[in-house]
Amino acid sequence: MCLSTAYRNNKEEDKILMTNVSNIEIQGEDIILTDLMEKKLVIKGTLEKVDMMDNFIIIKVK
């Protein structure tokens, strides 16, 4: 199982949106993150990068 941490805008600022992200859905301008416990977070933004080796996601938030 591959779980990731979602960051706002860039990883260096350390603005964590959600940890243990197990699923990402895109619906129009909405990015829906779901964690291991099935908690959902809906964010308006753009998916900038997903790094599966280092387990992080960068989302540019509007």
Read off the pLDDT of each residue in 31-56 and give the average, rounded to a whole number: 96
For 50, the domain range is: 4-61
pTM, whole model, 2 decimals? 0.90
The mean pLDDT of the chain is: 93
The secondary structure of 30-62 as a DSSP string is EEEEEETT--EEEEEEEEEEEETTTTEEEEEE-
Q: Structural domain tally of the chain?
A: 1
Q: How many CB atoms lie within 10 A of CB 57?
A: 21
Give per-residue pLDDT as tens, 4-27. 999 998 777 779 999 999 999 999
Tokens of 31: 């990015």
| Predicted pLDDT at 14 | 73
